[in-house]
Amino acid sequence: MAYNELLADRIRQILAPVKLAVEEKKMFGGLCFMVDNKMCVGIVKEDLMARIGETAQETALQRKGCRPMDFTKRPMKGYVFVAPEGTDMDEYLEHWVQLCLDFNPQAKASKKKKRS
């Protein structure tokens, strides 16, 4: 198991009623949920990866289980990892997913690579 399948199912349940284009992509050895063609929320091993923006990041880092996303050994601005203790309760996970959805309209989509 490359990522927590139970966490993925819980995220799917939260995103199901959302009236936006949601697509799942396997990335980073984990799973990413793209909303409107932009990285929104994902799972890397047992951790939630949340794209919440720089404005929300400072406050978010105060929450249980939250730490800067340092996937490449350099913290990424606007992204955090949340350990299982920060997502174990449904209300906690719903909070994180909502933060991601709230930021998504301001998020920039990555540039599409041209295939030759």
* Number of domains within the chain: 1
Encoded tokens for 35: 């909303």
Its pTM stands at 0.90
- Asked whether residue 22 is domain-assigned, the answer is yes
Report whether pLDDT(27) > 90.
Answer: no
CATH number at residue 90: 3.90.1150
Q: Which has the closest alpha carbon to 32: 44, 42, 40?
A: 42
User: Is the CB of residue 60 less than 8 Å from the CB of residue 52?
Assistant: yes
Asked whether residue 113 is assigned to any structural domain, the reply reads no
Domain holding 12, by residue range, is 5-103
Average pLDDT, the chain: 92
CA distances from 100 to 52, 75, 113 (A): 5, 18, 25
In a domain, 97, yes or no: yes
In a domain, 67, yes or no: yes
> Residue 19: inside a domain, yes or no?
yes
For the stretch 92-111, pLDDT in tens is: 999 999 999 999 999 988 76
User: Is position 114 within any domain?
Assistant: no
**Residue 14 belongs to some domain of the structure:** yes
Q: What is the per-residue pLDDT across 64-78, written as a single tens digit (0 to 9) for each?
A: 999 999 877 888 999
Domain contains 46:
yes
